[in-house]
Structure 1
């Protein structure tokens, strides 16, 4: 199972013609692309379920693939469609509380990642506490050679400029405690996703995320 070239072609064309008239005239192309993404997701779910017991192998891929229609009601960007397919995989599909796996499919801009993105205040507090209490375990995961080779550095979007309340500025893990998201990602080429080995490759990558995911889950259990 792989991402078909026709799916990338559809997304590229949509980026150039992001309007309802064009979309309606190419609805069959969209539906074929979505079916490709659903089939791909189904196989990826099975791959992740083989090592992560929180993800049911029978999880419906339709609960994982995100809508292509944008909610423009409160956005300055009024373009009606996303120009990517997003896939969120967790025990509850895309609508997951806590950490989850995410795959972003876009021409020459795809990536796979996972973790807790902008967790709610209580969840963020728990993650910081877990890092504080088990800092050596945290370091053993994020400084593991396989992990560092596979993924980019942790996302620092919206990182605090000062220490969060309750933590001294000289805490050995202060730079991690300042984070407001705990996610990592890996860029993917069209060629990688279009290869017959795409599912196996993504499954291996997700497996390397598993200890990181488990640490974040333990904070909220």
Structure 2
């Protein structure tokens, strides 16, 4: 993967964040995108080796659009400042997200503000066996890697059907169940970058499996 070419493209795109520039540089964009897809295919194969329940996700299916969604975020620029993709992308579950941007990159996973039905399923799982999730979140290596659940909107009181005295009320009040680890973009040029990606994937796996089981059972 020619990450240097990818970062150079993103830098120029952010200096010229308009359709005219993109149209004039469409060949360069396709070159970078195709290279990223090939790299994602390689990561897809390597993750399948370490996870016997891995969901095959070719790069073309995993890669995200570079266009921002201006319908919901009209004030954002037309194009993103990063390339992103989801791996282990089983339908209707939380994938393993990889993002590479100009200044930073990120590994993330879980469910960001799931719809009411899936959110209820997660809360029911916590009600039934919240100790398992807490054990995952409190594992030393997990906390060192991710810090904890991603901070997002929380309910002030207990969700409907649960008591404020519930032993896992701190988890039940969450609307997002996701974790993330950021890293400086310079790390993508390290010989150990792919090993780090795999290690983070494995560290996150019990957390993602807990959530995905909750929303699919």
TM-score, normalization: structure 2? 0.91
Shift of the 167–98 alpha-carbon distance from structure 1 to 2, 3 Å rule, reads: same
Give the SS at the match of 2:50: coil
Shift of the 188–78 alpha-carbon distance from structure 1 to 2, 3 Å rule, reads: closer
Give CA-to-partner distance per residue, 1:165-188, whole Å, 9 cap, x none.
Answer: 111112221111111111000012
Give 1:115 deviation, angstroms.
0.6
Q: What is the alpha-carbon distance in structure 2 between the residues aligned to residue 174 and residue 205 of structure 1?
A: 28
Shift of the 131–3 alpha-carbon distance from structure 1 to 2, 3 Å rule, reads: farther
How big is the alpha-carbon RMSD for the aligned residues of Structure 1 and Structure 2?
Answer: 1.8
Equivalences for 1:1-16 in 2 at 5 Å?
A: 2=1, 4-16=3-15
Contact in 1 for aligned 2:40/2:58 (Cα 8 Å): no
Shift of the 75–143 alpha-carbon distance from structure 1 to 2, 3 Å rule, reads: closer
Give CA-to-partner distance per residue, 1:62-96, whole Å, 9 cap, x none.
Answer: 0000111234345422632222111012344xxx4
Give 1:3 deviation, angstroms.
5.5
2:24 aligned partner: 25
Give the count of matched residue pairs: 216
Contact in 2 for aligned 1:3/1:193 (Cα 8 Å): no
1:141 aligned partner: 136
TM-score, normalization: structure 1? 0.90
Shift of the 130–108 alpha-carbon distance from structure 1 to 2, 3 Å rule, reads: same
Match of 1:80 among 78, 81, 92: 78
Give 1:153 deviation, angstroms.
2.2
Shift of the 140–190 alpha-carbon distance from structure 1 to 2, 3 Å rule, reads: same
1:65 aligned partner: 63
Shift of the 209–68 alpha-carbon distance from structure 1 to 2, 3 Å rule, reads: same
Match of 2:159 among 149, 155, 164: 164
Give the SS at the match of 1:50: helix
> Larger % of helix: which?
2
Show structure 1 runs of 5+ residues with no match: none
Give the SS at the match of 1:122: helix
Give CA-to-partner distance per residue, 1:133-168, whole Å, 9 cap, x none.
Answer: 112211110100110011132123121111111111
- The runs of at least 4 aligned residues of structure 1 exceeding 6 Å deviation read none
Deviates more, 1:153-162 or 1:123-132: 153-162
Give 1:13 deviation, angstroms.
1.5
2:41 aligned partner: 42
Q: What is the alpha-carbon distance in structure 1 between the residues aligned to residue 34 and residue 190 of structure 2?
A: 18
